[in-house]
Amino acid sequence: MGYKKPSFIENIAEKIGIIPNLHKEGYQEFDQDMRHFTDEEVAQMYENFPPPEKWDNWVEYDPKAWPKKVKKSYQIIPTTCFNCESACGLTAFIDKESGEVKKFEGNPYHPGSRGRNCAKGPATINQLTDPDRILFPLKRKGKRGEGEWERISWDEALDTISARIRKALKEDRHNEIAYHVGRPGAEGFMNWVLPAWGIDGRNSHTNICSSGARFGYNLWYGYDRPSPDHAEAKFILLISAHLESGHYFNPHAQRIIEGKMKGAKLATMDPRLSNTASMSDYWMPSYPGTEAAVLLAMALIILEEGLYNRDYLENWTNWQEYLKAKHADKEVTFENYIAAMIEEYKEFTPEFAEKESGVKAEMIREIAIKIGEAGERFASHNWRSAGASNLGGWAVARCLHFLTVLTGAVGAKGGTSPNSWNKFKPQVPHTPKPQKKWNELHFPNEYPLAFFEMSHLLPHLLKAGRGKMDVYFSRVFNPVWTYPDGFTWMEMFLDEDKFGLHTALTPTWNETAFFADLVLPMGLASERHDINSYATHGGTWVAFRQPVLREAARRNGKPVTYTYEANPGEVWEEDEFWIELSWRIDPDGSMGIRKYFESPNKPGEKITIEEYYQYIFERIEGLPAVAKKEGLTEFEYMTKFGAFEIEKGESYKKNETPLKPEQLEGTEVNKENGVISKNGKDIGVMINGKAVVGFPTPSRKNEFYSQTMVDWKWPEYATPTYIKSHIHNDVLDKSKGEYVLVPTFRLPTLIHTRSGNAKWLVEISNRNPIWMHPDDAAKWGFKTGDLVKMNTDIGYFIDKVWVTQSMKPGVVACSHHIGRWRREKDKTGNRWATNTVNIENKENGKWKMSTKSGIKPFDSDDKDSKRIFWKDGGVHQNITHAVHPDPISGMHTWHQRVRIEKPGPEENYGDIFVDTNKSHEIFKEWLAMTRPAPGPDGLRRPLWFKRAFRPDESTFYINKEKDE
């Protein structure tokens, strides 16, 4: 029995007391878990979806032929969506007559998305059929950035790149090779490729995205992401708009709603009345950057009211270490721990939090009590939002996790687990050893605690003469447009001494590809192989993205050797590209690279894509038995169903996993803190006389007190803290028209770059006006549609005003998705979404962009391109932002101090100005805020901190000669 909505009569009867109110506020336990439907219920749900036995020949009426009843036969092949990080299941419907993909629907066999998708999933069909897509490899003609291109073969592209990489490796210039990724969308593949080349060459977008929050979580428990168990929660707290556009968007959204249907209460902290806030029981419109003050006030209430989980705090936080370090005069007792915390946070009264944030003290108190009462069933999320926007934004995640610790909800059912507990990690063939290189262009010594590569600083580090990129790949990555300070990127791309060979691996034209030497078309969701696994709920799954036309050809007895043979034009996929490139870098095997890319079954031969994935799939727990039952190999099973559920949702409290007897052999126990070590490595901790694995922190517990922060020169942040943001009210001069701009919010229908070629999505969302409260608009005399000049630290952009009650007074906001552009000389690309602009660099470093024309209808094979009715392509705001790297986490802090004014008579909508000399000065100002390595023992980074593509441990120590 699931939840039954009350009928109209029941509602009335309950309200007037004729029958008991069974639907009243409060949590209602289901007698059947929503996530574990009965077999009958599942069968009923799937009834509406074609059953797998009919996937090779599915017949349905053609909706376009309506009202005639015309039958169409399809072959249905599963894959996964590539339009955000959730990798929801899709099924491609291939017309058996034309052999073309006609539409995408959900895949009910995908445990994360369970057959459902957001608008961006089915819109994959637009991306496939976009008349502007890149179908063949291209090489630039003329100077870089001039917009002239010629078609080349894949062989020419591979030979050009491999020769250059080989030369760099032979000359020991490993750090001049980099692969810079925007949307990875895959598990494990590049961890295999780049260490095999021996380079520390991976750069990512994470420091403009999530590393702030990751840092805050990591300090606590050695895991860097949360996995909230929304469906089982009693109270859900979201910092920002996770219901409509957050991380793992659709899978999380459906589970948040399930939680709510069962009676969970939802609170959202966000200065915007987002769709998420509007669905919430509590909206806390906080002033940006003050979230940690609110969270600490809640923590204080939970402590003072005695609503904390004593058992959890006593066993699973390092309170003894805290008391000894910070309160040496006190006896080490649990009572003193609680008293010391209350003392430590005494200033964080709800009234103080209200003063800082604008959120009413009574609401803060009410929510704190509800969180305390929810206990272990408190789920929360803070991903990009506040963590990605403020100086000290990482402290927001740290304070949020403080509530999770106080309630004992860490890893609990209905609580918030570490992401890694719900994520599958593939085991690849011929695993290479970690590289023995450390690339200081990605991890400079000024940022020893930076959680990911300082990718937003790359152009400034190049400008400062700290190195060069001889071979640079941008992969589904568009820093000229998505990053702050895009003109500095442009300047560096135009300088061939800074960026040598720039290869853009991309499914679509973008503002960065215009400045590449080679543009290589890579497949969309249904045109490539990848494996995906994400922490969408309290279970673990693996999904398979596959090129559906290739798979159809295989099933129909016409197999191809390479994916580009089946895809449109010569669109390829990265997996095969990297294998091929690796062989060409080391054609005779003498460099020790080729061996990693040889077949595990036929030594000396090149590994095939089937062999690579079969190797991984046959090692997934449970999959071999299930595949065997179907009479399939593991690879065939995944091509047929597209996903496999590894574990249904018992992955709670994994920190309590007992150490096995063989693990305990030869171990030592630290008498002071109970940490168990073996061969110099910590492997567990003693809790109540039991040896368990604990968390991967120095204390193996949640670290309320961080000795790491003390050791790395930040003692003032030894415990969870509120850090005033760079856009705190104190630093704004309201008399000069200074406001805080929230430039980060996502629209649920768009992706950063790749929705520019999806007509349905652009039709829905195509402008990014400045959200402004009526009181602020009245102050300025603005009405909706008026032009507004937004002055940033390095320039300005001119946008339009949208007057709305949905914005907190004193704060303005602008969506970061829109404002795509191309110059007249550029190849036609994304014409559904791009303005045509003029760009000038009149004086050295003084860049001006103006809009020549908006979006227009155009002729193409797609009749809809003549029907475009929208004209306004919005404004590119990010390019006017300076880099603001948090000195600790390294996260770019997106919120901007802006000076609002009315534009002059000569100024127009879409005008942009930036002075890159100023932006380089600001880079230096923020660099001066750091406290550089070395840390203890000459380390450049704490050994216990994770690092993406972690190099050999020897590289963590700064070379002594270098210091002298």
Site residues for ligand SF4 per CB under 6 A: 81, 83-84, 86-88, 113, 117-118, 120-121, 249-250
Cα 272 → chain centroid: 21
Instruction: Find out whether 918 and 794 touch, Cβ atoms under 8 Å.
Output: yes
Is the CB of residue 516 less than 8 Å from the CB of residue 504?
yes
How far is Cα 163 from Cα 500, in angstroms, rounded to an integer? 13
Q: Which residues contact residue 272 at a Cβ distance below 8 angstroms, ignoring those fewer than 6 apart?
A: 241, 285, 742, 745, 771, 806, 807, 808, 813
280 CB-near residues (< 8 Å, 6+ apart): 238, 243, 266, 267, 268
What are the helix (H) ranges across 586-706?
609-617, 623-629, 634-641, 661-664
Nearer to ligand SF4, 2 or 122 (CB): 122
Task: Quote the DSSP letter at residue 737.
Answer: T
Residue indicated by tokens 């295999």: 192
> Least Å distance between CB 230 and ligand SF4?
15
The distance of Cα 349 from the centroid of its chain, to the nearest Å, equals 33
d(CA 243, CA 228): 12
Closer residue to ligand SF4 (CB): 376 or 763: 763
Q: Which is nearer to ligand SF4, 89 or 743 (CB)?
A: 89
Q: With residue 851 as reference, give the H or E element that holds it.
A: strand 846-853
Nearer to ligand SF4 among residue 133 and residue 545 (C-beta): 545
Considering the complex, what minimum distance in angstroms separates the CB of residue 85 from ligand SF4? 7
Q: How far is the CB of 543 from ligand SF4 (least distance, A)?
A: 10
Q: Least distance (Å) from ligand SF4 to the CB of residue 891?
A: 23
**Whose Cβ is closer to ligand SF4: residue 113's or residue 380's?**
113
Residue closer to ligand SF4, measured from CB, 255 or 920? 255
In the bound complex, what is the minimum distance in angstroms from residue 49's beta carbon to ligand SF4?
16
Task: Return the ∠ at Cα 396 (arms to 391 and 397), rounded to 5°.
Answer: 120
Helix (H, G, I), strand (E, B), or coil: what is residue 154? helix
Question: What single DSSP character describes residue 650?
Answer: -
In the complex, the smallest distance separating the C-beta of residue 182 from ligand SF4, rounded to whole angstroms, is 15
* Closer by beta carbon to ligand SF4, 118 or else 269: 118
In the bound state with ligand SF4, the residue whose beta carbon lies nearer, of 88 and 818, is: 88
Minimum CB separation of residue 529 from ligand SF4 in Å reads 17
Residue 790 CA neighbour count, 13 Å, CB half: 34
Write out 912-944 in H/E/C secondary structure.
EEEEHHHHHHHHHHHHCCCCCCCCHHHECCCCC
How far apart CA 303 and CA 316 sit, in angstroms, is 16
- Structure-block tokens of residue 411: 């890893």
Q: Specify the residue, 121 or 829, whose C-beta has the smaller distance to ligand SF4.
A: 121
Contact between residue 441 and residue 458 where contact means Cβ atoms under 8 Å apart: yes
Q: What is the dihedral of CA 510, 514, 515, 520, to 10 degrees?
A: 70
| Count of Cβ atoms closer than 10 Å to residue 173 Cβ | 16
Please report, for residues 72, 371, 656, the alpha-carbon distance to residue 309 in angstroms, rounded to integers and kept in the order given: 60, 12, 16
Nearer to ligand SF4, 193 or 643 (CB): 643
- From the CB of 612, what's the least distance to ligand SF4, in Å? 23
User: Taking a C-beta distance cutoff of 8 angstroms, is the pair 70, 62 a contact?
Assistant: yes
- Cis ω before 67 (30° cut-off from 0): yes
Question: What is the smallest separation between the CB atom of 107 and ligand SF4, expressed in angstroms?
Answer: 10
Task: Return the number of the residue (55 or 249) whose C-beta is nearest ligand SF4.
Answer: 249
Compare residues 532 and 567 and give the one whose CB is closer to ligand SF4.
532
User: Residue 70 CB, nearest distance to ligand SF4 (Å)?
Assistant: 29
Shortest Å distance, C-beta 127 to ligand SF4: 11
Measured between alpha carbons, how far is 241 from 827 in angstroms, rounded to an integer? 36
Residue whose CB is less far from ligand SF4, 84 or 807: 84
Instruction: Tell me the closest approach of the beta carbon of residue 81 to ligand SF4, in angstroms.
Output: 3
User: Residues 641, 661: contact at Cβ < 8 Å?
Assistant: no
CB-based contacts of 925, cutoff 8 Å, min separation 6:
none
In whole angstroms, the minimum distance from the beta carbon of 652 to ligand SF4 comes to 25
Query: How far is the CA of 11 from the CAs of 4, 5, 27, in angstroms?
Result: 12, 9, 18
State in angstroms the smallest separation of the CB of 250 from ligand SF4: 3
Task: Compare residues 477 and 489 and give the one whose CB is closer to ligand SF4.
Answer: 477
For residues 553 and 513, the answer to whether their CB atoms sit within 8 Å is no
Q: Give residue 726's identity as a one-letter amino acid code.
A: H
Residue pointed to by tokens 């990127």: 489
Burial of 557 (0-12, 13-18, 19+ CB in 10 A): exposed
Cβ distance to ligand SF4 smaller for residue 86 or 880? 86
Rounded least distance, CB 526 to ligand SF4, Å: 12
Q: CB–CB of 794/783 below 8 Å?
A: no
Residue with tokens 């000195």, as numbered in its chain? 887
The least distance separating ligand SF4 from the CB of residue 243, rounded to whole angstroms, comes to 12
Rounded to a whole number of angstroms, the minimum distance from the CB of residue 577 to ligand SF4 is 23
CA–CA gap between residue 239 and residue 228 (Å, rounded): 13
Shorter beta-carbon distance to ligand SF4: residue 178 or 525: 525
Which of 121/212 has CB closer to ligand SF4?
121
Residue 702 CB, shortest distance to ligand SF4, in Å, is 31
- Alpha-carbon gap, residue 960 to 958, rounded angstroms: 6
Nearer to ligand SF4, 113 or 240 (CB): 113
